[in-house]
Amino acid sequence: MNEAIIRTDFEFPGQKDVYHGKVRDVYNIKDELLVMVASDRISAFDIVLPRAIPYKGQVLNQIASKFLDATSDIVPNWKVASPDPMVTIGKYCNPFPVEMIIRGYLTGSSWRTYKSGARAICGVPVPDGLKEHQRFPEPIVTPTTKAVEGHDEDISEEEIIKQGLVSAEDYAKLKNYTIRLFKRGSEIAAEKGLILVDTKYEFGKVGNQIYLIDEIHTPDSSRYFYADKYEERFAKGEPQKQLSKEFVREWLMENGFQGKDGQQVPEMTDEFVSSVSERYIELYEQVTGEKFNRVPTKGVLDRIENNINDFLRNR
């Protein structure tokens, strides 16, 4: 098996602190820059799974980097540089405490919610009679709170503003950016024979300026369907062929795990880990239209540390 990063513990010049998220390790440099290392950890149901996935961090970082560049005319983003295939360095922003999720289709968690009888998702009314994977007439924005620990919670636009999580003025901007980013992402996906089904965006502020932060249009933050067989599969009520992390969730559910108390994560065999790695690489090549360059993983931690230090020293 290739070497995979489960955790980093670097010490950089000017480092104030480090945050180890579910997937990314984020280093704060003097409250000026954030060094974001995309590890090979994988999470599902808000649980970090016990084994890392080779090349996953490289896939996530390089897809996000490309889409940040491809959408910078819509909204400024935090990215300053990507000095390593697994690293993005960007502006230190104060994040909004919500995630802006946008859905073009009734699938995944929204379908599970709908199937249980709910006819509103995050305060957005949804009509009766819809089927799994059905396209909404217009994409719907279904935000969640951003939990430091545990599960993110669905929340309505009205409740966000009422609780003072985001001002009405800023929320209107976030919603507008979300819709425009999703439109651009959908157009790019369509050129590659894919459907951008749903995704999430995170935003932050420096002074009065809003920035797009974190990742964008990656398999961890987004769901894609293959476009060519979508209509045929939908008409027959068949599962859609998709490129996303949903297949990992489905594997876990098939093996009796949904992140609930007392449940054990099923064994992640070498074969399964390798198959997940190949799915991530497949998504990279489909989404970008480029061949994935498997950067050697031997000594990966030393390489990352050296590349980040070189950037910080020469900036």
Taking only the tens place, the pLDDT of each residue in 60-109 is 999 999 999 999 999 999 999 999 999 999 999 999 999 999 999 999 88
d(CA 120, CA 97): 22
Domains for the chain: give ranges and CATH numbers: 95-243 (3.30.470.20)
* Tokens read off for 262: 């007392």
Beta strands in 148-206 (DSSP E): 194-206
**Residue 221 carries which side chain, given as an amino acid letter?**
S
Cα of 217 vs its chain's centroid, Å: 7
Phi-psi domain of 241 (left: phi exceeds 0; alpha: psi -120 through 50; beta: other): beta
70-86 CB burial, b ≥16 within 10 A, e <16:
ebeeebebbbeebbbbb
Flag whether pLDDT at 150 surpasses 60: no
- Report the residue count for the chain: 315
Q: What is the pTM of this model?
A: 0.90
Flag whether pLDDT at 151 surpasses 80: no
> What is the signed CA dihedral for 295, 299, 305, 306, rounded to 10 degrees?
-80
- C-beta neighbour count of 259 within 10 angstroms: 15
d(CA 303, CA 84): 8
Q: Are 222 and 182 in contact (CB under 8 A)?
A: no
Nearest by Cα to 225 from 121, 112, 138, 132: 132
**Residue 101 carries which side chain, given as an amino acid letter?**
I
Least confident of 59-63, 133-137, 175-179, 245-249: 245-249
Q: Is 100 helix (H, G, I), strand (E, B) or coil?
A: strand
* Tokens read off for 255: 């093996």
pLDDT of residue 23: 93
- pLDDT tens readout for residues 257-284: 998 989 999 999 999 999 999 989 988 9
Position 247 confidence tier, pLDDT thresholds 50, 70, 90: confident
pLDDT of residue 219: 83
* Tokens read off for 193: 């024979």
d(CA 13, CA 309): 8
